[in-house]
A and B are shown apart, each in its own frame.
Chain A
Amino acid sequence: MTAPQTPDRNPRRAFIAAAGAGVAGLGFAAIAPGLHLMAVGEANAATEARKAGTAASPAVRWGLLIDAGKCAPGCTKCIDACHTENGVTEKLPDPRQNSQWIRKIELVDRRDGRKTELPMMCQHCANPPCVDVCPTGASMKRADGIVLVDRHTCIGCRYCMMACPYKARSLVHVPLTEQNPEVPRGQGCVESCTLCVHRVDKGQTPACVESCPEGAMLFGDLNDPSSAIAKRIASVPTTQVRADLRLNHGVRYQGL
């Protein structure tokens, strides 16, 4: 089942923002007059496809539909493609310290032993807890729904990692070399799936989608009723992981 869509400006966030702004107002003006609170992630409306110099459009909501029934057991092509595309190549002695932008999860149903595999990554929530908790606004949601980390303002506090219900974020635990110029990464910063934003902005699909030999991943605009992804979601049962949290994901699953 697809959980009902919730508006982006839900009451919880609005309340927290108001309370926080109240606390801030008590002292911030005195501490730093002249500084302006930045509305991170907001952008001017653009109705056309993204071109250099234009802002991302809030009319678009990029999303992924993953058919777990088609995801081949043992296949890691999406992971390999993602990590190659984004230069996530470091292999540390403790695998728990490696960055994993996407991973395969093996599920066994406790009732009947049925096995399922699926790729898990940032779910690109409309109401992302990581964005709520980030002290500097480095965790941000772009106007077109892609959740990103600004590597220039991330201070590495890891509060977003505590807040993410999907373990989708990683801290870069070591100094990095030989990065992909289109995908800046940095030691001490938190990172996660960007939905290959650098490819999407060029009109391409994310690397994981392109690499899947089974065609299990469908990328597109959730807001466009004529898009393949929107039509599929309208016609088949789909799931949002931990839909009880009402985070309104950009990533949906089929066949769970």
Chain B
Amino acid sequence: MTLNPRHEEGLFYLLAAIGGLVSAIGIGAALYMEHSGHVVTGMNNQVVWGLPHVVAIFLIVAASGVLNVASMGSVFGRKLYKPRAPLSGLLALAMISGGLAVIMLDLGRADRIIVAATHFNPTSVFGWNVILYPVFYGVVAVYLWTMMERRMYPWMKVAGYATFIWRIVLTTGTGSIFAFLVARQAYGTALLAPMFIIMSFCWGLAVFLVVQSTMYAWNGLTLPPLVLQRMKNLLATFVAAVLYFTIVLHLVNAYFAKNIAFEYFILFDSEFAGMFWVGQILLGTLLPLALLFNPATASKALWVNVAALLVVVGACFHLYVFIIGGQAFPLDMFPGYDVKSSFMDGAVDHYRASLPELLLSLGGLGIAFTMTTIGVRILHFLPQDDLAELEAATRATD
């Protein structure tokens, strides 16, 4: 189905307006939090990072992962992915902008964000971010330039390599935010750095698939079956890899006596257990795998998109269990003792996100959505496949 051009233009403005409104509401919520203090949030001195951090980290991790599509073309030489590289670059910039906006607007003193640039602590992973994120913007912007400006074509491969290396560094940094924490049982393992990288591959590709399908449908096009087949196989591989890392992480934790109580809590005896088994494992992992491997569904774009959307839903559960669940479990300061205090020592925290937090989080999604919508409208991001060349390349590969 192709939209009437007049309706199509109206629909674009409507979507851009909705995205802008959601973004504006999110910024308004942040101003309210800034004015009133974090007392208006559900966060407290035990669960210090809440829903905004779940959403922001999803956007940041997926932003670096979505670039994998471009890397498949320029670094690994896969022809199928080359026409998709510009869209992957745009999505990366849009999502990281949404994620960073949420993180920065949630700061206790968001007005002092410039201090993060003028006072630098080299031992802090957050400090590294002051370098990691601006450079990420820079390399992706240059990469997009080399892809969209004919005179810059010779530099495309170099820019592609630089982007690929930097996105690996960036996601290593995101995983290390938690890997370097010695205080809480849920974190403090080097496994988190590579795990975040594979999570980014998975979530980024899932987002890419959904956006790509939407753009094809908007333009009345159908994704070539060969492209669908290749990309759904890659997604299934990444989903399985995340499952593998999840299993290893929990097995290692459960092997240490000091972490058994936490593992029992997060997997079986808390509000997070249901989110883990139903949200992360069933909806976000097993169901997508079934859809992507079952021949009856795997060949249909609709079901591949359903699987990709389920992966995104599962990612949100994954991060909620990891970030909120990891903080809700009490610090184990006195092994062998039952403890209690006026500061909720020894007690499980029951965090509930407040409305301003929810609106701020949605605002981040709104920023990413608006940037993507406007970007694909004003610049040429729709993948153009040369099917004959693709099939020839596929035969050669096979």
> A residues engaging B (CB < 8 A)?
13, 16-17, 20-21, 23-24, 26-28, 31-32, 35, 37-38, 40, 92, 94-100, 103-111, 116, 120, 129, 131-138, 153-159, 161-167, 169-175, 186-190, 241-242, 245
Interface contact A162-B183, CB-CB below 8 Å:
yes
Partner among B34, B183, B344 whose Cβ is within 8 Å of the Cβ of A96 = B344
* Bound-complex Cα distance A182 to B361 (A): 38
The interface residues of chain B lying within 8 Å CB-to-CB of A241 are 333-334
> Is B122 engaged at the interface, CB distance under 8 Å to the other chain?
yes
Cβ distance B325 to chain A, nearest Cβ, rounded Å:
14
Partner among A21, A159, A161, A166 whose Cβ is within 8 Å of the Cβ of B122 = A21
Interface contact B345-A134, CB-CB below 8 Å:
no
Q: Which of B49, B115, B134 has most chain A Cβ within 10 Å?
A: B115
Known: A38-B119, A105-B345, A109-B337. A20 touches B109 (CB 8 A): no
> B residues engaging A (CB < 8 A)?
34, 36-39, 44-46, 48-49, 107-110, 112-113, 115-132, 134-135, 169, 177, 180-184, 327, 331, 333-334, 336-345, 349
* Bound-complex Cα distance A161 to B127 (A): 16
Known: A23-B132, A162-B181. A155 touches B123 (CB 8 A): no
Cβ distance A236 to chain B, nearest Cβ, rounded Å:
20
Interface contact A172-B37, CB-CB below 8 Å:
yes
The interface residues of chain A lying within 8 Å CB-to-CB of B48 are 158, 161-162, 171
Interface contact A167-B123, CB-CB below 8 Å:
no
Cβ distance B161 to chain A, nearest Cβ, rounded Å:
15
- In chain A, what residue has the closest Cβ to B37? A174
**Known A135-B120, A162-B49; further 14 A-B contacts with Cβ < 8 A:** A16-B123, A20-B123, A24-B131, A27-B134, A96-B45, A107-B338, A111-B336, A120-B333, A133-B123, A136-B115, A154-B108, A165-B333, A188-B108, A241-B333
- Contacts A/B (CB < 8 Å), 14 sampled: A23-B169, A27-B134, A32-B118, A35-B118, A94-B39, A94-B44, A105-B340, A131-B123, A135-B120, A155-B109, A159-B124, A165-B331, A165-B333, A241-B333
Interface contact B349-A96, CB-CB below 8 Å:
yes
Instruction: Count A-B contacts at CB 8 Å.
Output: 216
Partner among B46, B110, B119 whose Cβ is within 8 Å of the Cβ of A153 = B119
Interface contact B342-A103, CB-CB below 8 Å:
yes
- In chain A, what residue has the closest Cβ to B351? A96
The interface residues of chain A lying within 8 Å CB-to-CB of B338 are 107-108, 110
Partner among A105, A136, A158, A164 whose Cβ is within 8 Å of the Cβ of B49 = A158
Interface contact B337-A110, CB-CB below 8 Å:
yes
Interchain residue pairs A-B with the least CB separation, the first 10:
A156-B108, A188-B108, A20-B122, A96-B44, A135-B126, A165-B183, A136-B119, A135-B127, A158-B48, A173-B39
Interface contact A135-B37, CB-CB below 8 Å:
no
Interface contact A37-B120, CB-CB below 8 Å:
yes
Cβ distance B97 to chain A, nearest Cβ, rounded Å:
18
* Bound-complex Cα distance A111 to B337 (A): 8
Interface contact A135-B129, CB-CB below 8 Å:
yes
Interface contact B336-A188, CB-CB below 8 Å:
no
- In chain A, what residue has the closest Cβ to B128? A23
Interface contact B123-A13, CB-CB below 8 Å:
yes
- In chain B, what residue has the closest Cβ to A96? B44
Cβ distance B89 to chain A, nearest Cβ, rounded Å:
20
Cβ distance A71 to chain B, nearest Cβ, rounded Å:
13
The interface residues of chain A lying within 8 Å CB-to-CB of B119 are 38, 136-138, 153
- In chain B, what residue has the closest Cβ to A137? B121
Partner among A99, A188, A242 whose Cβ is within 8 Å of the Cβ of B109 = A188
Known: A137-B120, A137-B121. A163 touches B39 (CB 8 A): no
The interface residues of chain A lying within 8 Å CB-to-CB of B49 are 158, 162
The interface residues of chain B lying within 8 Å CB-to-CB of A162 are 48-49, 181, 183-184, 327
* Bound-complex Cα distance A156 to B34 (A): 11
Interface contact B107-A120, CB-CB below 8 Å:
no
Cβ distance B309 to chain A, nearest Cβ, rounded Å:
31
Interface contact B333-A166, CB-CB below 8 Å:
yes
The interface residues of chain B lying within 8 Å CB-to-CB of A116 are 337
* Bound-complex Cα distance A107 to B169 (A): 44
The interface residues of chain B lying within 8 Å CB-to-CB of A153 are 112, 115, 119
* Bound-complex Cα distance A212 to B46 (A): 28
Known: A133-B126, A134-B124. A120 touches B108 (CB 8 A): no
* Bound-complex Cα distance A154 to B121 (A): 12
The interface residues of chain B lying within 8 Å CB-to-CB of A106 are 339-341
Interface contact A159-B126, CB-CB below 8 Å:
yes
* Bound-complex Cα distance A100 to B132 (A): 35
* Bound-complex Cα distance A255 to B303 (A): 64
Known: A135-B130, A162-B183. A156 touches B107 (CB 8 A): yes
The interface residues of chain B lying within 8 Å CB-to-CB of A172 are 37, 108
Cβ distance A190 to chain B, nearest Cβ, rounded Å:
7
Interface contact A103-B343, CB-CB below 8 Å:
yes
* Bound-complex Cα distance A179 to B334 (A): 34
Interface contact A158-B108, CB-CB below 8 Å:
yes
Cβ distance A148 to chain B, nearest Cβ, rounded Å:
14
Cβ distance B120 to chain A, nearest Cβ, rounded Å:
6
The interface residues of chain B lying within 8 Å CB-to-CB of A120 are 333, 341, 345
Interface contact B115-A155, CB-CB below 8 Å:
yes
Partner among B109, B124, B135, B344 whose Cβ is within 8 Å of the Cβ of A135 = B124
* Bound-complex Cα distance A21 to B127 (A): 10
The interface residues of chain A lying within 8 Å CB-to-CB of B45 are 96-100, 161, 167, 169-171
- In chain A, what residue has the closest Cβ to B44? A96
Interface contact A133-B124, CB-CB below 8 Å:
yes
* Bound-complex Cα distance A16 to B177 (A): 13
